[in-house]
C-alpha cells in the first residue's frame, strides 16, 4: 500500500496528523530540544492555551493553536496513535470536510472548558479533540447497532489515566468528552449530510460563544 493510497483513505486525519508533526518539529527546532520543545519556542509561547494571554489581539486563537501543540514526543505520539485509530473511522462516516470541522469543535470545546475551569494552567495537546471523537464514536456504534463495549472501555481507560496521571489536563479531557457527547446525539439523529452540516455549524458557534464568555477580558 503506497503513501498516496493511505492519504486518500483518510485525508483529513492525515492532514491533521501532519500538521501536528510539523508544529512539533518547529517548536523542537526553536527550543533546540526534542523533549522540552515548548521551553524556548516562540511558536509554543504564542499558541499554548493560557487564559490570561487570550485577552488581547489574536489571543483567542490559542484555543485552536493549542490543539496542535504537544509537550515532548511521547505526548505527541500517543495522541497521533489515538487520532489515527479514531479519525479514520469517523472520517469514513462523515467525510473529510465535516470530520475536520468536528475535530476543531471538539478541540475548541475542550479549550473552553479549560478557560472556564482551570484558566491559570497552561495547556497543550490534541487530547480534548480526541476525547470528543471517542464520545462521537460511541454514538456511531450505537447508530449501527454495534457492540458498545470497545469504545466505552477506551473512554474508561483514558479517563482512568486522566484522573491518576500527573500533568494531565483534567478539564481539557472532560471538556472534549462533554462536547463530543453533546454533539453525538444530534449528529447521529440527522438523516442527511445537509442536516449534519447545520448541526455542526451551530455547534461551532456555540463553543466559540462559550469560549469567549470564559476569557477574562480586562
pLDDT digit string, tens, across residues 19-29: 999 999 999 99
Tell me which residue of 98, 101, 181, 171 sits closest to 136, measured CA to CA: 181
Q: Evaluate if residue 187 carries a pLDDT over 90.
A: yes
pLDDT at 1: 54
pLDDT at 110: 98
pLDDT (tens digit per residue) in 124-159:
999 999 999 999 999 999 999 999 999 999 999 999
| Helix, strand and coil percent figures for the chain, each rounded to 5 | 80, 0, 20
Residues 178, 113: contact at Cβ < 8 Å?
Answer: yes
Q: Evaluate if residue 3 carries a pLDDT over 80.
A: no
Average pLDDT over residues 106-113: 98
Class of domain 3-214: mainly alpha
Q: Evaluate if residue 218 carries a pLDDT over 70.
A: no
State how far the Cα of 130 lies from the Cα of 200, in Å rounded to an integer: 17
Q: Is 123 helix (H, G, I), strand (E, B) or coil?
A: strand
Contacting residues for 14 by C-beta, under 8 A, at least 6 apart: 6, 7
State how far the Cα of 162 lies from the Cα of 153, in Å rounded to an integer: 14
- Mean per-residue pLDDT of the chain: 94
Specify burial of residue 149 (Cβ count, 10 A radius: 0-12, 13-18, 19+). Answer: exposed
Residues 69, 44: contact at Cβ < 8 Å?
Answer: yes
CA dihedral over 165, 47, 127, 3, signed as positive or negative: negative
pLDDT at 159: 95
Residues 19, 76: contact at Cβ < 8 Å?
Answer: no
Bridge partners (DSSP) listed for residue 49: 123
pLDDT (tens digit per residue) in 43-66:
999 999 999 999 988 899 999 999
Residues 157, 132: contact at Cβ < 8 Å?
Answer: no
Can you read off the three cell numbers belonging to residue 131? Answer: 476525547
Which range among 2-16, 123-137, 150-164, 173-187 shows the weakest confidence by mean pLDDT? 2-16
pLDDT at 107: 98
Q: Is 36 helix (H, G, I), strand (E, B) or coil?
A: coil
Percent of the chain at pLDDT exceeding 70? 98
Residues 69, 30: contact at Cβ < 8 Å?
Answer: no
State how far the Cα of 113 lies from the Cα of 11, in Å rounded to an integer: 29
Cα-to-chain-centroid distance, residue 20:
11
pLDDT at 63: 97
pLDDT at 57: 82
Tell me which residue of 200, 199, 177, 181 sits closest to 113, measured CA to CA: 177
Amino acid at each position: 500500500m503506497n503513501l498516496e493510497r493511505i492519504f486518500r483513505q483518510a485525508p483529513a486525519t492525515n492532514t491533521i496528523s501532519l500538521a501536528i508533526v510539523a508544529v512539533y518539529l518547529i517548536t523542537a527546532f526553536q527550543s533546540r530540544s526534542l523533549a522540552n520543545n515548548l521551553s524556548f519556542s516562540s511558536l509554543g509561547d504564542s499558541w499554548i492555551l493560557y487564559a490570561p494571554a487570550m485577552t488581547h489581539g489574536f489571543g483567542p486563537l490559542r484555543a485552536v493553536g493549542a490543539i496542535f501543540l504537544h509537550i515532548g514526543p511521547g505526548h505527541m505520539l500517543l495522541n497521533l496513535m489515538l487520532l489515527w485509530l479514531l479519525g479514520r473511522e469517523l472520517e469514513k462516516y462523515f467525510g473529510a470536510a465535516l470530520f475536520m470541522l468536528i475535530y476543531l469543535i471538539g478541540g475548541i470545546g475542550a479549550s473552553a472548558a479549560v478557560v472556564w475551569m482551570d484558566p491559570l494552567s497552561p495547556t497543550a495537546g490534541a487530547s480534548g479533540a480526541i476525547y470528543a471523537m471517542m464520545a462521537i464514536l460511541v454514538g456511531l456504534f450505537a447508530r449501527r447497532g454495534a457492540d458498545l463495549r470497545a469504545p466505552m472501555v477506551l473512554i474508561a481507560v483514558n479517563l482512568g489515566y486522566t484522573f491518576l496521571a500527573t500533568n494531565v489536563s483534567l478539564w481539557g479531557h472532560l471538556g472534549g468528552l462533554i462536547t463530543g457527547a453533546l454533539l453525538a446525539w444530534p449528529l447521529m439523529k440527522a438523516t442527511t449530510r445537509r442536516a449534519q452540516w447545520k448541526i455542526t455549524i451551530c455547534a461551532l458557534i456555540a463553543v466559540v460563544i462559550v469560549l469567549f464568555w470564559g476569557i477574562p477580558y480586562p
